[in-house]
Amino acid sequence: MLTKAPHLFDEATRVTAGDSRWQGRTSDDYWAFVGPFGGATAATILRALMEHPQAAGNPLALTVNYCAPIAQGDFDLDVRLVKANRSTQHWSVELTQAGSDVATLATAVFAERRPSWSHQLAPFPQTKPFEQTLPYAKIAAAWVKQYDFRFVEGEPNVGGGGSNTAPANAFSKLWIADRIPRKIDALSLVAMSDAFFARIFHARREIVPFGTVSLTTYFHADADDLAKEDITCVFGVADAKIFHKSYGDQNGELWSPEGRLLATTTQIGYFKA
């Protein structure tokens, strides 16, 4: 008998049981410095919604607010369908651990994606193919090991920086794939939308304390679109507009190799510098 081990990402974002209350568990494979990789947390929340018996349609928008650190171990997801109509669903999710305060607060919109006039205005960024781009070798946190990052432009260059250097730009273009290939779905898109290295590391050319505070991702491809793409990597671009009074923004795009815009994302994060 041939059995197939689940992908680490699917293990890391596994949820069990529940109607209004689901359970998940942090993954050592997707651990960051002081807590789980935020993209894995976001994907776990989205998975609880997508696997929910009442879920209808496709993820359209997801906002995740990281309220407090998540400790290693089990957590509960309080899932609530706040409002539904013929074509959209509005969800709210609260992540808690051992009955304590809310550690992560999320809202999501699901929608039936009906056929319409279609037009992609954003141009596909210039790039060379995934296969011709070198993998990024400087791996720090555990979660980074789970991805195959291949920078076409804006590879982080930390070490030469700090407060005495002129700020660098914060723009990056890179291929992102799961280290062990996994077909791109809405779950990996949301995780990858938090997988860009913090823009402050790029602008300062040094690693400083940083944490995502709020992340929003919009999905521009539904399950049918993604099934047709049948891809295991995306091309990502990320940039920042401002760092001010301990907070900075990030905006990003995730593209299929063929030049289809799959998701757009934005986040605001805390930094100490």
Binding site for a copy of itself (CB under 8 A): 60-61, 63, 65, 67-68, 82-83, 85, 88, 90, 92, 94, 101-103, 105, 107, 109, 111, 113-122, 163, 167, 169-170, 203-204, 213-214, 216, 218, 220-222, 225, 239-247, 249, 251, 253, 261, 264, 266, 268, 270-273
From the CB of 211, what's the least distance to a copy of itself, in Å? 10
233-239 β-sheet, strand order: 21-25, 74-84, 88-96, 102-111, 58-66, 210-219, 261-271, 247-255, 233-239, 172-178, 147-153
From the CB of 259, what's the least distance to a copy of itself, in Å? 12
> Which of 72, 169 has the CB closer to a copy of itself?
169
From the CB of 236, what's the least distance to a copy of itself, in Å? 14
Asked if residues 263 and 218 have their Cβ atoms less than 8 Å apart, the reply is yes
> Which of 17, 121 has the CB closer to a copy of itself?
121
Centroid of chain to Cα 187: 8
> Which of 65, 182 has the CB closer to a copy of itself?
65
Query: What is 134-186 written as a DSSP string?
Result: PPP----SHHHHTEEEEEEE-----SS-STTSPPPP--EEEEEEESS-----H
Measured distance CA(111)–CA(59) in Å, rounded: 6
Q: Which residue has the tokens 């919009």?
A: 218
- Contacts for 119 with CB less than 8 Å, ≥ 6 apart: none
> Which of 232, 264 has the CB closer to a copy of itself?
264
> Which of 151, 270 has the CB closer to a copy of itself?
270
From the CB of 118, what's the least distance to a copy of itself, in Å? 5
From the CB of 203, what's the least distance to a copy of itself, in Å? 6
